[in-house]
Every structure is written in C-alpha cells, then in structure tokens.
Amino acid sequence: MDFSRKLNAAVERNNSLVCVGLDPDPKRMPEGISVAYFNRAIVDATSDLVCAYKPNLAFYEALGREGQEALRQTLRHIPADVPVIADAKRSDIGNTAAAYARAIFEDLGFDACTVNPYLGGDSVEPFASYRDRGVFILCRTSNPGAADFQDLRCRHGGKSLPLYQIVALRAAEWNTHGNIGLVVGATYPGELGIIRKQHPDMLFLIPGVGAQGGDAAQVVRQGASVEGRGIIINSSRQVLYASQGKDFDTAARTAAEALRDEINRHLSALPA
C-alpha cells in the first residue's frame, strides 16, 4: 500500500490527524529503560489514536549504534498499517540524494521523508521518484529563525514573493506523481493560511503544536482543506513526556487522545 492510501486508511480508522514524533531524549525518559523499550511502550499506547509516526533521525544518530538499532526495532514494532515519516531533512546533489533516498525508503523502509529543497529540483527528484512514498518539502518551518531566509522577497513570475511561497510553488510544479507535500509550521498560522489558499489540495505536515507553542485551533482553521483534511499535525514532546514517571505510556496515551479530540472538535466547527 502506498503512503497516501495508508495514511488515508489510518485517518479513517483512528478518526485522527495526529502524528506522534518519536524523538527520544534519554535525559527526559524514565530512568532504567532503553530507547527501544520507551518507543515500543509509546507505540503500544497510542497506535489506535494516530494517523502516523515521525521519528526524527537525529535523536537516534546521536546515540550511535544503540540508537540505530533502537530505530530499527521501533520501525519493526510500529503496526504495518500506520505510516511512518522519516524526519530526516535530507538533501544533496542528485547522485548523493539518490543514496539518501535508498537508505530512507529501501533500507529503513520509511513510508515518507522530509526533504530540504535548497539545492533545487534535481535534489528532490530522487525522493519523489519513489512514487509510492511521500515527500514533505520544508516550506515554512516552525523554528524562530525561519524568517532569516524564508521571508526574503524574491522575484518570481514578475512578482515579488517571500521565498517560502516560491518554495511551495516549485513543490507544486515538481509534484508530477502526486506524492509531494509541504512542511508548514504551526507557529506561523498566518503563513499557513496563505499557503493553503494558494495550494488547496496539497498535503501539509505541520510540526510545532504543543511544546513549540503552536495552537491546534489555528492550525485547523488555517491549514485544513475544504474537506477538513490535508493536514498531519505532529506533536512530539507534548505526548512523549506527558509524564517522566512509570506511567509515561498511559500519560502519553491521555495526551495523544486529548490532542486528537481537540483537533476533531475544531474540525467539526469548520463551516460546511
């Protein structure tokens, strides 16, 4: 099953647009448990509440061999009918990008990947050529320094536009297989609304709800498509570290369920 169909099936089955970011930080985890155990417990507690999981590869790479093995164990444990997005932000010249894509999609078996478009279309194409996998292009990121480059105004089609809008336009041009989406941060709801109006049918991966300060109500109002879909709302720390005690998994479930229900309330309030 390709990424899009797997995602849509998970959304319908779990009535959820929540993605849980599996970004384990041993300093915040309960003492005496491994990353692999922690992730397994989080997945077991939340897999019926989410539409996807999103491990950030940096957290595993930072732990060396133990982290790499924990990532593989985590990927094996996630139910096959829940899509998994590699938050890898990969990019390079064509042949190196192709190697990154093979590693992400073939070796590790991820369903989708985040990609940095700074090197241009030929750096994105090796990822997008996997037609059954999703590609999320960094567009308007959630971090405070996003404006350093993403707000710079550039000439495009005879107009002066901020760079993030040009990135979205390019992504739409590259989306010949229908498997490209955009990363748009919850911390910039105004920009999120602008991009949605310009690209009504693209899928958005939206980080920044919870610990980074993004507001779920704003995300739904500004980012959801006219069908009330088109968004994957990621939460990492808010769910993973809802408790740092022995009840961390049940607390994570409570947090994920609360976020899912909050999102659904806002969806139901959208105009018909």
Active centre residues (catalytic): 89
Evaluate whether 221 touches 204 at the Cβ level (below 8 Å): no
Ramachandran area for residue 247 (φ above 0: left; ψ -120 to 50: alpha; else beta) = alpha
**Residues 184 and 223 sit within 8 Å (Cβ to Cβ):** yes
Q: In sequence order, which residues have a C-beta less than 8 Å from that of residue 51 and are 6 or more positions away?
A: 7, 10, 11, 14, 16, 17, 18, 19, 82, 83, 232
DSSP, collapsed to helix, strand or coil, labels residue 230 as: coil
Q: Are 210 and 185 in contact (CB under 8 A)?
A: no
Pairing of β 231-235 and β 204-206: parallel
Check: CB of residue 234 under 8 Å from CB of residue 20. Answer: yes
The letter for the amino acid at 241 is Y
Q: Which amino acid is at 92?
A: D
